[in-house]
Amino acid sequence: MDNEKDVTFTYTSILHDKKGEKMVRVCFERKGDAGREYAEGVVPEGKIDANFGFSREEIEKLEEYLKENAGDIMLKARKITGITHWLK
Protein backbone atom coordinates (compact mmCIF):
# COMPACT_ATOMS: atom_id res chain seq x y z
CA MET A 1 0.00 0.00 0.00
CA ASP A 2 1.45 3.33 -0.97
CA ASN A 3 -0.16 5.14 1.95
CA GLU A 4 0.49 2.34 4.43
CA LYS A 5 1.86 4.61 7.15
CA ASP A 6 -1.25 6.78 6.90
CA VAL A 7 -3.70 3.93 7.50
CA THR A 8 -5.67 3.98 10.76
CA PHE A 9 -6.83 0.65 12.18
CA THR A 10 -9.76 0.49 14.60
CA TYR A 11 -11.81 -2.39 16.01
CA THR A 12 -14.88 -3.01 18.12
CA SER A 13 -15.35 -4.91 21.33
CA ILE A 14 -16.42 -8.57 21.07
CA LEU A 15 -19.69 -8.88 19.16
CA HIS A 16 -21.79 -11.91 18.22
CA ASP A 17 -22.82 -12.85 14.70
CA LYS A 18 -26.19 -14.31 13.70
CA LYS A 19 -25.02 -17.78 14.77
CA GLY A 20 -23.93 -16.49 18.18
CA GLU A 21 -20.22 -16.83 17.35
CA LYS A 22 -17.79 -14.25 18.73
CA MET A 23 -16.45 -11.76 16.22
CA VAL A 24 -14.83 -8.32 15.99
CA ARG A 25 -15.55 -5.69 13.33
CA VAL A 26 -12.44 -3.93 12.05
CA CYS A 27 -11.85 -0.85 9.92
CA PHE A 28 -8.82 0.40 8.00
CA GLU A 29 -9.09 4.07 7.01
CA ARG A 30 -6.95 6.59 5.19
CA LYS A 31 -7.27 9.91 3.45
CA GLY A 32 -7.05 9.42 -0.30
CA ASP A 33 -7.58 11.32 -3.52
CA ALA A 34 -11.32 10.66 -3.31
CA GLY A 35 -11.55 11.63 0.37
CA ARG A 36 -12.00 9.00 3.09
CA GLU A 37 -11.03 5.54 1.89
CA TYR A 38 -11.90 2.52 4.00
CA ALA A 39 -11.89 -1.24 4.18
CA GLU A 40 -14.14 -2.92 6.76
CA GLY A 41 -14.11 -6.55 7.76
CA VAL A 42 -14.42 -9.18 10.47
CA VAL A 43 -12.16 -11.29 12.63
CA PRO A 44 -11.61 -14.22 13.12
CA GLU A 45 -12.88 -14.88 9.59
CA GLY A 46 -10.35 -12.41 8.19
CA LYS A 47 -12.56 -11.14 5.38
CA ILE A 48 -13.04 -7.58 4.15
CA ASP A 49 -16.75 -7.09 3.41
CA ALA A 50 -16.92 -3.38 2.55
CA ASN A 51 -14.41 -1.28 0.67
CA PHE A 52 -13.99 2.13 -0.90
CA GLY A 53 -10.68 3.24 -2.39
CA PHE A 54 -8.47 0.22 -1.62
CA SER A 55 -7.19 -1.88 -4.54
CA ARG A 56 -7.82 -5.63 -4.83
CA GLU A 57 -4.16 -6.24 -4.02
CA GLU A 58 -4.41 -4.08 -0.89
CA ILE A 59 -7.56 -5.92 0.21
CA GLU A 60 -5.76 -9.26 -0.15
CA LYS A 61 -2.90 -7.97 2.03
CA LEU A 62 -5.35 -6.66 4.63
CA GLU A 63 -7.19 -10.00 4.73
CA GLU A 64 -3.86 -11.78 5.18
CA TYR A 65 -3.02 -9.40 8.02
CA LEU A 66 -6.38 -10.07 9.70
CA LYS A 67 -5.98 -13.84 9.47
CA GLU A 68 -2.42 -13.76 10.82
CA ASN A 69 -3.35 -11.42 13.70
CA ALA A 70 -6.87 -12.64 14.50
CA GLY A 71 -5.90 -14.01 17.92
CA ASP A 72 -4.21 -10.79 19.01
CA ILE A 73 -7.09 -8.64 17.72
CA MET A 74 -9.61 -10.82 19.57
CA LEU A 75 -7.59 -10.48 22.81
CA LYS A 76 -7.43 -6.70 22.49
CA ALA A 77 -11.16 -6.54 21.71
CA ARG A 78 -11.87 -8.68 24.77
CA LYS A 79 -10.19 -6.02 26.94
CA ILE A 80 -12.57 -3.40 25.55
CA THR A 81 -15.51 -5.74 26.13
CA GLY A 82 -14.51 -6.06 29.78
CA ILE A 83 -14.91 -2.34 30.44
CA THR A 84 -18.04 -1.63 28.41
CA HIS A 85 -20.23 -2.22 31.47
CA TRP A 86 -18.87 1.08 32.87
CA LEU A 87 -20.51 2.93 29.99
CA LYS A 88 -24.02 1.69 30.74
Is 9 part of a structural domain of the chain?
yes
How sure is the predictor about 81, in pLDDT bands with cuts at 50, 70 and 90? confident
Identity of the residue numbered 22:
K
**Contacts made by residues 74-79, CB under 8 angstroms, sequence distance 24+:** 74/14, 74/22, 74/24, 74/43, 74/44, 76/11, 77/11, 77/12, 77/13, 77/14, 77/24, 77/43, 78/13, 78/14
Is 64 part of a structural domain of the chain?
yes
Is 59 part of a structural domain of the chain?
yes
Is 86 part of a structural domain of the chain?
no
pLDDT tens sequence across 22-55: 999 999 999 988 789 999 999 999 999 999 999 9
Q: Which of 51, 44, 50 is nearest to 68 (CA)?
A: 44
Is 87 part of a structural domain of the chain?
no
Residue 18 in this model has a pLDDT that exceeds 90: yes
Expressed as residue numbers, the domain containing 56 is 4-81
pLDDT of residue 68: 98
pLDDT tens sequence across 60-80: 999 999 999 999 999 999 988
Whole-prediction pTM value?
Answer: 0.83
Is 77 part of a structural domain of the chain?
yes
Number of independent structural domains in the chain: 1
Is 20 part of a structural domain of the chain?
yes
